[in-house]
């Protein structure tokens, strides 16, 4: 989970609006990104130290930027296998590492998210949390199905908040449990008093609290288009499709700033057009 979280934190800084951010450069190890609360600095430092050790053992022949993404690849494959699905996550090397001297701290500070629905993180929201989620999705150039499957997978992997929206009894395993339990008619969702972004999912019969979730989670049950997608991924026969689609969307995000790749250049031209 920590490897997946680090890879996502690195790549998801990309902004399609100005094409800044992304995994290339491994700036997540530099100031200011390494100190952002959303990136869990203590955990991040530990993961980066381990990856830097691997880089040193390899004689510096591989960039830390590639190792960060590769760590996410390994984590996703392992989590999918634990869920009963064998999958190969594509990986394309070729990233380079930026230096602190090449990173203007004040400029990059503007990339820090005020809220990130993908990780159920809220710092200083300027609009509703679910609107921040949709805004982040468009910056990552994601379609509605890609947004949906990524949120479901990231919750299952426990990327971000350790409890909020983690609607599964097997966190760290790549399953479609998020959608299954979110849409379970045996669960009644109610707002927690005094908390604008906190909801409890209680068993309708016993009244016992089973889950907690945010607005960024419940939007997949209340928005007509997103609910339709959630029902597809929450189906009993959708486990393999869920993993396949998650891997495709995950790989897309990992490569958003790889304009050296032919496929990515074509995608970028479509967005501009």
Tens-digit pLDDT profile for residues 168-183: 999 999 999 999 999 9
User: Which pLDDT score is estimated for 60?
Assistant: 86
Arithmetic mean of pLDDT, 114-132: 92
Banded model confidence at residue 262, pLDDT cuts 50, 70, 90: confident
Banded model confidence at residue 196, pLDDT cuts 50, 70, 90: confident
CATH of domain 2-272: 1.10.420.10
213 DSSP β-pair partners: 199
Give the count of beta carbons closer than 10 Å to the beta carbon of residue 237: 6
Q: Is 33 exposed, middle or buried (0-12, 13-18, 19+ CB in 10 A)?
A: buried
Q: Where are the domains of the chain?
A: 2-272
**pLDDT (tens digit per residue) in 52-110:** 999 999 998 999 999 999 999 999 999 999 999 999 999 999 999 999 999 999 999 99
Beta strand 121-122 with 187-191: parallel, antiparallel or unpaired? unpaired
User: Do 24 and 82 touch, CB atoms closer than 8 A?
Assistant: no
Can you tell me the distance from the alpha carbon of 209 to that of 164, in angstroms, rounded to the nearest whole number? 13
| pLDDT at residue 272 is higher than 70 | no
Q: What's the mean pLDDT when you consider all of the chain?
A: 95
| pLDDT at residue 212 is higher than 80 | yes
User: Do 144 and 226 touch, CB atoms closer than 8 A?
Assistant: yes
């Amino acid at each position: 989970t920590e490897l997946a979280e680090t890879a996502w934190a690195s790549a998801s800084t990309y902004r399609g609006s100005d094409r800044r951010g992304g995994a290339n450069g491994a700036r997540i190890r530099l100031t200011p990104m390494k100190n952002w609360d959303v990136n869990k600095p203590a955990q991040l430092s530990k993961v980066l130290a381990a990856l830097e050790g691997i880089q040193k053992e390899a004689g510096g022949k591989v960039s830390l930027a590639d190792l960060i993404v590769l760590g996410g690849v390994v984590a996703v494959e392992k989590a999918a296998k634990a869920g009963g699905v064998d999958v190969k996550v594509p990986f394309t090397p070729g990233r380079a590492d930026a230096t602190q001297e090449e990173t203007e701290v004040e400029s990059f500070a503007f990339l820090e998210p005020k809220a990130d629905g993908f990780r159920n993180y809220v710092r200083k929201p300027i609009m509703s949390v679910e609107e921040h989620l949709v805004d982040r999705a468009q910056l990552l150039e994601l379609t509605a199905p890609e947004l949906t499957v990524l949120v479901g997978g990231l919750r299952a992997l426990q990327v971000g908040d350790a409890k909020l929206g983690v609607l599964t009894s097997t966190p760290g395993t790549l399953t479609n449990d998020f959608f299954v339990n979110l849409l379970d008619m045996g669960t009644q969702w109610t707002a927690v008093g005094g908390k604008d972004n906190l909801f409890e999912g209680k068993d309708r019969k016993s009244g016992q609290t089973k889950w907690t979730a945010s607005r960024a989670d419940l939007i997949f049950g209340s928005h007509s288009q997103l609910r339709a997608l959630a029902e597809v991924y929450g189906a009993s026969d959708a486990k393999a499709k869920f993993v396949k689609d998650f891997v495709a969307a995950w790989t897309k995000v990992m490569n958003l700033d790889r304009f050296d790749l032919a496929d990515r250049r074509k995608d970028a031209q479509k967005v501009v057009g």
